[in-house]
Amino acid sequence: MLGGLPVIYGINPFDTETAPQHQLGSIGVTPDGRKFRYAEVGGSTLVPGNLLQSAAEATDSQALAVAAASIGATSITTTTTLTVTANEFANGYVCVTVTPGIGNVYRIRSHPAATTATLVITLYDPIEVALTTDSRIDMVHNPFANVIQWPATETGTPVGVAFVAAAADTFTWIQTGGVASVLQEGATAVGASVVASAGTAGAVIDAVSTANPVIGSAVTGIASGENGAIFLRMD
Protein backbone atom coordinates (compact mmCIF):
# COMPACT_ATOMS: atom_id res chain seq x y z
CA MET A 1 0.00 0.00 0.00
CA LEU A 2 1.30 3.42 -0.94
CA GLY A 3 1.39 6.15 1.67
CA GLY A 4 2.85 9.57 2.17
CA LEU A 5 2.17 13.22 2.67
CA PRO A 6 -1.44 14.14 1.81
CA VAL A 7 -2.14 16.62 -0.98
CA ILE A 8 -5.10 18.86 -0.24
CA TYR A 9 -6.75 20.24 -3.36
CA GLY A 10 -8.85 23.38 -3.64
CA ILE A 11 -7.44 25.02 -0.49
CA ASN A 12 -8.19 28.59 0.53
CA PRO A 13 -4.65 29.98 0.95
CA PHE A 14 -6.01 32.92 2.97
CA ASP A 15 -6.99 30.59 5.83
CA THR A 16 -5.31 31.17 9.20
CA GLU A 17 -6.02 29.06 12.29
CA THR A 18 -5.08 29.21 15.95
CA ALA A 19 -4.96 25.41 16.16
CA PRO A 20 -3.46 23.19 13.43
CA GLN A 21 -5.92 21.69 10.97
CA HIS A 22 -3.34 19.71 8.98
CA GLN A 23 0.09 18.18 9.49
CA LEU A 24 2.92 20.69 9.21
CA GLY A 25 4.35 20.51 5.71
CA SER A 26 1.14 19.21 4.14
CA ILE A 27 0.92 20.19 0.49
CA GLY A 28 -2.01 22.33 -0.61
CA VAL A 29 -2.97 23.15 -4.20
CA THR A 30 -5.31 25.88 -5.42
CA PRO A 31 -7.62 25.25 -8.40
CA ASP A 32 -5.15 27.05 -10.69
CA GLY A 33 -2.25 24.83 -9.60
CA ARG A 34 -0.31 27.08 -7.23
CA LYS A 35 1.39 25.05 -4.47
CA PHE A 36 1.47 25.77 -0.76
CA ARG A 37 2.76 24.18 2.46
CA TYR A 38 1.00 24.24 5.81
CA ALA A 39 3.18 26.01 8.36
CA GLU A 40 3.32 27.32 11.90
CA VAL A 41 4.22 31.02 12.20
CA GLY A 42 7.13 31.91 14.47
CA GLY A 43 7.44 34.94 16.73
CA SER A 44 6.37 37.74 14.34
CA THR A 45 3.44 38.46 12.03
CA LEU A 46 4.22 37.49 8.45
CA VAL A 47 4.55 40.09 5.70
CA PRO A 48 2.80 38.98 2.47
CA GLY A 49 5.31 38.58 -0.36
CA ASN A 50 8.29 38.10 1.96
CA LEU A 51 10.53 35.09 1.61
CA LEU A 52 10.45 32.84 4.69
CA GLN A 53 12.96 30.49 6.30
CA SER A 54 12.83 27.64 8.76
CA ALA A 55 13.46 28.29 12.45
CA ALA A 56 17.05 29.26 13.17
CA GLU A 57 19.53 26.40 13.20
CA ALA A 58 19.95 24.72 16.60
CA THR A 59 23.68 23.93 16.62
CA ASP A 60 23.58 22.55 20.15
CA SER A 61 21.38 19.69 18.92
CA GLN A 62 23.91 18.47 16.36
CA ALA A 63 26.67 15.84 16.44
CA LEU A 64 25.03 14.10 19.40
CA ALA A 65 26.48 10.82 20.67
CA VAL A 66 23.96 8.03 21.27
CA ALA A 67 23.58 4.74 23.05
CA ALA A 68 23.48 1.57 20.95
CA ALA A 69 20.06 0.93 19.37
CA SER A 70 18.98 -2.25 17.62
CA ILE A 71 17.24 -2.67 14.27
CA GLY A 72 13.50 -2.28 14.87
CA ALA A 73 13.87 -0.05 17.94
CA THR A 74 11.57 2.97 17.97
CA SER A 75 13.60 5.22 20.22
CA ILE A 76 17.11 6.66 20.41
CA THR A 77 18.79 7.77 23.62
CA THR A 78 21.47 10.43 23.47
CA THR A 79 24.55 10.19 25.66
CA THR A 80 25.40 13.80 24.91
CA THR A 81 23.54 16.13 27.26
CA LEU A 82 21.39 18.93 25.85
CA THR A 83 18.67 21.36 26.83
CA VAL A 84 15.30 21.24 25.04
CA THR A 85 11.66 21.93 25.84
CA ALA A 86 9.18 19.05 25.72
CA ASN A 87 8.44 18.07 22.10
CA GLU A 88 10.46 20.97 20.74
CA PHE A 89 11.56 18.70 17.88
CA ALA A 90 8.29 16.75 17.52
CA ASN A 91 7.53 16.06 13.84
CA GLY A 92 11.10 17.02 13.03
CA TYR A 93 13.88 14.60 12.19
CA VAL A 94 16.84 12.64 13.45
CA CYS A 95 19.57 12.58 10.79
CA VAL A 96 22.33 10.01 11.32
CA THR A 97 25.53 11.83 10.39
CA VAL A 98 28.28 9.36 11.37
CA THR A 99 28.30 5.62 10.66
CA PRO A 100 26.90 3.13 11.64
CA GLY A 101 23.55 4.19 10.16
CA ILE A 102 24.91 7.19 8.28
CA GLY A 103 22.40 8.67 5.83
CA ASN A 104 19.28 7.40 7.58
CA VAL A 105 16.58 9.88 8.58
CA TYR A 106 13.88 9.18 11.16
CA ARG A 107 10.84 11.32 11.97
CA ILE A 108 10.50 12.31 15.63
CA ARG A 109 7.22 11.44 17.37
CA SER A 110 7.96 12.95 20.79
CA HIS A 111 10.52 13.60 23.51
CA PRO A 112 10.48 14.98 27.07
CA ALA A 113 12.07 18.18 28.26
CA ALA A 114 15.75 18.08 29.20
CA THR A 115 18.01 20.52 31.03
CA THR A 116 21.65 19.64 30.44
CA ALA A 117 20.60 16.00 30.39
CA THR A 118 20.48 13.02 28.07
CA LEU A 119 17.31 12.59 26.03
CA VAL A 120 15.09 9.71 24.90
CA ILE A 121 13.74 10.43 21.41
CA THR A 122 10.66 8.44 20.37
CA LEU A 123 10.41 7.84 16.62
CA TYR A 124 7.56 7.19 14.19
CA ASP A 125 9.68 4.72 12.21
CA PRO A 126 11.72 1.74 13.41
CA ILE A 127 15.49 1.90 13.11
CA GLU A 128 16.71 0.32 9.88
CA VAL A 129 20.44 0.11 10.61
CA ALA A 130 21.61 -0.56 14.16
CA LEU A 131 23.27 2.37 15.89
CA THR A 132 26.37 2.05 18.06
CA THR A 133 28.22 4.39 20.38
CA ASP A 134 30.24 5.46 17.32
CA SER A 135 27.10 6.78 15.59
CA ARG A 136 26.27 10.47 15.73
CA ILE A 137 22.96 12.23 15.07
CA ASP A 138 21.58 15.70 14.42
CA MET A 139 18.14 16.66 15.71
CA VAL A 140 16.42 18.90 13.15
CA HIS A 141 13.25 20.95 13.63
CA ASN A 142 10.41 20.44 11.18
CA PRO A 143 11.19 23.07 8.50
CA PHE A 144 7.58 24.28 8.60
CA ALA A 145 7.47 24.81 12.38
CA ASN A 146 7.95 28.40 13.57
CA VAL A 147 8.78 29.86 10.16
CA ILE A 148 10.21 33.38 10.15
CA GLN A 149 11.08 36.12 7.66
CA TRP A 150 14.21 35.32 5.67
CA PRO A 151 16.83 37.46 7.47
CA ALA A 152 19.53 39.59 5.87
CA THR A 153 21.98 36.92 7.05
CA GLU A 154 20.34 33.52 6.78
CA THR A 155 20.10 31.23 9.81
CA GLY A 156 17.97 28.50 8.24
CA THR A 157 16.77 27.28 4.87
CA PRO A 158 14.18 28.98 2.61
CA VAL A 159 10.79 27.25 2.88
CA GLY A 160 8.25 29.44 1.09
CA VAL A 161 6.76 32.90 0.62
CA ALA A 162 4.24 34.49 3.00
CA PHE A 163 0.79 34.70 1.43
CA VAL A 164 -1.15 36.44 4.21
CA ALA A 165 -0.29 38.53 7.29
CA ALA A 166 -0.71 35.57 9.63
CA ALA A 167 -0.01 36.43 13.28
CA ALA A 168 2.67 34.83 15.44
CA ASP A 169 1.88 31.33 16.71
CA THR A 170 -0.90 30.72 14.19
CA PHE A 171 -1.07 28.20 11.34
CA THR A 172 -1.39 29.12 7.69
CA TRP A 173 -0.45 28.27 4.12
CA ILE A 174 2.83 29.57 2.67
CA GLN A 175 3.44 29.49 -1.07
CA THR A 176 6.08 27.25 -2.64
CA GLY A 177 5.05 26.90 -6.29
CA GLY A 178 3.49 28.96 -9.09
CA VAL A 179 3.11 32.71 -9.53
CA ALA A 180 3.71 34.71 -6.34
CA SER A 181 4.32 38.36 -5.55
CA VAL A 182 7.78 38.51 -3.94
CA LEU A 183 9.94 41.34 -2.61
CA GLN A 184 12.91 42.06 -4.89
CA GLU A 185 16.40 43.32 -4.07
CA GLY A 186 17.97 44.91 -7.16
CA ALA A 187 16.39 45.10 -10.62
CA THR A 188 15.60 41.74 -12.24
CA ALA A 189 14.95 41.03 -15.90
CA VAL A 190 12.05 38.92 -17.10
CA GLY A 191 12.96 35.24 -17.20
CA ALA A 192 15.96 35.57 -14.87
CA SER A 193 16.45 33.04 -12.10
CA VAL A 194 16.16 34.50 -8.62
CA VAL A 195 17.71 33.33 -5.36
CA ALA A 196 17.34 34.14 -1.68
CA SER A 197 18.87 37.55 -0.95
CA ALA A 198 22.16 37.78 0.91
CA GLY A 199 21.48 41.26 2.25
CA THR A 200 17.79 42.25 2.33
CA ALA A 201 15.38 40.55 4.75
CA GLY A 202 12.44 38.85 3.08
CA ALA A 203 13.73 39.44 -0.46
CA VAL A 204 15.01 37.57 -3.50
CA ILE A 205 17.69 38.75 -5.93
CA ASP A 206 18.90 38.00 -9.45
CA ALA A 207 20.82 34.72 -9.40
CA VAL A 208 24.00 36.30 -10.83
CA SER A 209 24.39 38.25 -7.58
CA THR A 210 24.85 35.42 -5.06
CA ALA A 211 25.06 31.65 -4.80
CA ASN A 212 22.13 31.35 -2.35
CA PRO A 213 19.33 28.79 -2.95
CA VAL A 214 17.28 29.21 -6.15
CA ILE A 215 13.69 30.29 -5.46
CA GLY A 216 12.27 30.54 -8.99
CA SER A 217 12.27 32.83 -12.02
CA ALA A 218 10.91 36.29 -12.84
CA VAL A 219 7.64 36.32 -14.80
CA THR A 220 8.10 40.04 -15.50
CA GLY A 221 10.84 42.59 -15.13
CA ILE A 222 10.94 43.85 -11.52
CA ALA A 223 12.30 47.10 -10.11
CA SER A 224 14.49 47.08 -7.02
CA GLY A 225 12.55 47.40 -3.76
CA GLU A 226 9.25 46.41 -5.34
CA ASN A 227 7.30 43.17 -5.26
CA GLY A 228 7.06 41.40 -8.59
CA ALA A 229 5.76 38.22 -10.15
CA ILE A 230 8.04 35.25 -9.47
CA PHE A 231 7.25 31.73 -10.63
CA LEU A 232 8.25 29.81 -7.51
CA ARG A 233 9.99 26.45 -7.90
CA MET A 234 10.44 25.51 -4.25
CA ASP A 235 8.31 22.35 -4.55
Distance from C-alpha of 185 to C-alpha of 201, rounded to nearest angstrom: 9
pLDDT at 6: 64
Q: What is the pLDDT of residues 125-160, one digit of tens each?
A: 999 999 999 999 999 999 999 999 999 999 999 999
Tell me the pLDDT of the chain averaged across its residues. Answer: 95
pLDDT at 2: 45
pLDDT at 211: 83
Q: Hey, how many other C-beta atoms are within 10 angstroms of the C-beta on 14?
A: 10
Distance from C-alpha of 151 to C-alpha of 123, rounded to nearest angstrom: 32
> What CATH fold (topology level) applies to the domain 59-140?
Elongation Factor Tu (Ef-tu); domain 3 (2.40.30)
pLDDT at 8: 86
Q: Are 90 and 111 a contacting pair, CB within 8 Å?
A: yes
pTM above 0.85, yes or no: yes
Distance from C-alpha of 117 to C-alpha of 77, rounded to nearest angstrom: 11
Of 63 and 6, the one with more pLDDT: 63
The segment(s) of the chain belonging to CATH 2.40.30 are 59-140
Give yes or no for residue 5 having a pLDDT over 60: no
The segment(s) of the chain belonging to CATH 2.40.300 are 7-55+146-233
Share of the chain above pLDDT 90, in %: 92
pLDDT band at 18 (very low <50, low <70, confident <90, very high): very high
Bin 143: left if φ > 0, else alpha if -120 < ψ < 50, else beta: alpha
Mean per-residue pLDDT for 23-27? 95
Q: Domain 7-55+146-233 classified CATH 2.40.50?
A: no
SS3 208: coil
Q: What is the pLDDT of residues 162-180, one digit of tens each?
A: 999 999 999 999 999 999 9
